[in-house]
Amino acid sequence: MASATASRRLMHEYRALTIDSPEGITAGPIDEDNVFEWEAMIQGPEETPFEGGIFPATLSFPKDYPLSPPSMKFTCEMFHPNVYPSGLVCISILHPPGDDPNHYEQASERWSPIQSVEKILISVMSMLAEPNDESPANVEAAKMWRERRGEYENLVREKVRKLLGL
């Protein structure tokens, strides 16, 4: 039972997401042999330049989940202040309360064992709508977002169209 904690918890989350997931979000294990690696799809929020896009990502869970948070990585190109060029997502809910090298995050926004995949994905969705440029993961994107918003939005729209093959 002890060992199953992480996997059971992930099964619960997966199960709940299949039965009742928020609109625009899909997630689940990539294959049956490894419940610690998930794949997720996030719909671009409406009235943002990401609107209309579907963005694939992977989630990697630690063995001590939910004590520690998973990491999340977009597997498509994602030009966003809070996403590293590698695709790795950098938002507070994915950071354990213990380490905050930047000292800018509210402890209350960070990971806690009662957070969930669903909450992460919803947070990422709202991150797409409202970037946090206090501690950018992609400096170039952050700079453009801050200083040349129109250009940034056009670039994102262009990338979304490309992603959809339109």
Partner 1 sequence: MDASGVSDSTDWLNTSLPALTTVESALRCQVCKDFYTTPMITSCSHTFCSLCIRRCLATEGKCPTCRGEEQEVKLRKNWALQELVDAFQAARPGVMKLAQRCNLEAGGRLAKRKLDDTRMEMEEPERPSQARKMRALKRIPSVVDGDGDDYYLSDDGLVPCPICSKRMKEESVFLHLDRCGQDQKRRESVTPSRPTTRSSVLADVTPQTRLPQHVGRALEHLPKLNYSILKENALRKKLSELGLIAGGPRSLLEKRHTEWVHLWNANCDSARPKLKKELLQDLDAWERSQGGSKASFNGLSNSGNDVMKKDFDGAGWAKSHDVEFQRLIANARKKKSSNQPPQGSKKDAERIGTTQDAENGAIDQTRAEQTLVVDPIDQNFNLREEIGKQDYAQRAAPAGTPLTESNSEMLYGCMRHEDIGYKAYPGGGRPSEGGS
Residues in the chain: 166
**Complex with partner 1: residue 33 or 147, whichever CB lies closer:** 33
**Complex with partner 1: residue 97 or 135, whichever CB lies closer:** 97
* Residue 160 lies near partner 1 (rule: CB under 8 A): yes
Supply 130's token pair.
């409202």
What residues pair up with 143 in beta bridges, in sequence order? none
**Complex with partner 1: residue 63 or 146, whichever CB lies closer:** 63
Residues 6+ positions from 164 with CB-CB distance below 8 Å? 52, 53, 54
* Residue 102 lies near partner 1 (rule: CB under 8 A): no
CB 29 within 8 A of CB 15: no
Q: In the window 1-60, what residues touch partner 1 (CB under 8 A)? A: 1-9, 11-16, 18-24, 26, 28-37, 39, 41, 43-45, 51-54, 56, 58, 60
* Residue 85 lies near partner 1 (rule: CB under 8 A): no
Residue 76 is a catalytic residue: no
CB 79 within 8 A of CB 87: no
Return the active site residues: 90
